[in-house]
Amino acid sequence: MKRTLTVILVAMSALILVSAAHAGPYAPAAGEDGSTAVSMDDASIKGWATGYNGLVYGDDVIDTWKTPEKALGPALGTVMDIVSLGNGGQITISFFPAVITNGEGADFVIFENALNDTFLELAYLEVSSDGVHFFRFPNDSLTPHPFTLDEDDNEIPLAAWEILTVDPENISGFASKYRVGYGTPFDLDDLDTLEAQQGILSGTLNLDYIAYVRIIDIIGDGSSPDSSGDPVYDPWHPTNPQTSAGFDLEAAGYMNYFVGGDLNLDDKLDMTDAVLALQILAGAPASVSLTRDADGKITLADVLFALSYLAEQ
């Protein structure tokens, strides 16, 4: 995890980077052939996170980095424009009035502030349609055990100046894979876990209506498993003093979406939509179906949502 930026820049040349060994089967670093990295100025990004809740800070993060408002709006490509979750912390972000849908290719993208291609602080990524039931993307970590063993097979921990590196080709499905300025894309078609299938059948998950994205920091000492039950390692360090430990969220954007309550389909929510909803409730004919709760119905709740949203603008 990170020290303050000043300490990192001063000490970077003296750090011994512990290699994550051989490259794995997954997409490589940003700029390399086959990379899935999404640049922060990619035209496919149509909008950005507008709100957050469920923020719980983990250990080893000072108030300087407890700035969740910096995770809203566009990515800026700077290591300072972040909220640090701390070791084991979490945050839920939203995009109202937009909601994410399952469209062609990547549906949304997460930006972290990794200093380089291998200083990757990992986190689980979960989505929800209702803010209550969350479903985790499948993930895989092939980063090997970072410790050496002594003659009695006891672990020899990393020295204070050593940092474990993570090869992006060894990880998949986590909320961090690329250096600052490049985001990790997520395709809802990849959410094919048994839990997700059960959620779809029970109605607690609608892949065409994802209103919330939750990010949960992974303490990278091997105590947290990937989807296969294998240990996950990242630059977590047991002895280095930390001030901005854990996953550092810079931004979250979406590609495939619709605007909840946008009854006239002009890609925005305004007073026209509230008036149209009232007219429909009064019996006027209309051929609209996009509503606040994606239930295919126009109700008073849709009117109230539009009015409450406009009142906050």
Letter for the amino acid at 206? N
Helix/strand/coil percent split, the chain, to 5: 20, 25, 55
Beta bridge mates, 171:
141
Q: Which of 24-33, 88-97, 183-192, 258-267 has the lowest mean pLDDT?
A: 258-267
- pLDDT of 148: 66
Taking residue 74's Cβ as centre, other Cβ atoms within 10 Å add up to: 16
pLDDT at 180 over 80: yes
**Confidence (pLDDT) at 144:** 83
Least confident of 141-145, 178-182, 237-241, 296-300: 237-241
One DSSP character per residue, 60-74 reads SB-GGG--GGGGSSS
Is the pTM here over 0.75, yes or no? yes
Q: What is the pLDDT of residues 94-136, one digit of tens each?
A: 998 889 999 999 999 999 999 999 999 999 999 999 999 999 9
pLDDT at 42 over 90: yes
pLDDT band of residue 307 (cuts 50, 70, 90) is low
Measure the N-to-C terminal CA separation of the chain; round to a whole number of Å. Answer: 37
HSE-CB at 113 with a 13 A cutoff on CA atoms is: 26
Domains and CATH numbers, the chain: 5-258 (2.60.120.260), 260-312 (1.10.1330.10)
Distance CA 304, CA 311 (A): 10
Q: Which residues contact 207 (CB under 8 A, 6 or more apart)?
A: 101, 102, 188, 191, 200
Confidence of residue 289 (pLDDT cuts 50, 70, 90): very low
Pick from 75, 173, 170: nearest CA to 127: 173
pLDDT tier at 12, thresholds 50, 70, 90:
very low
Higher pLDDT residue, 147 or 72? Answer: 72
pLDDT at res. 49: 97
Distant-in-sequence, close-in-space partners of 309: CB < 8 Å, separation ≥ 6: 96, 97, 261, 269
218-238: average pLDDT: 89
Segment 176-182 mean pLDDT: 96
Average pLDDT over residues 55-67: 93
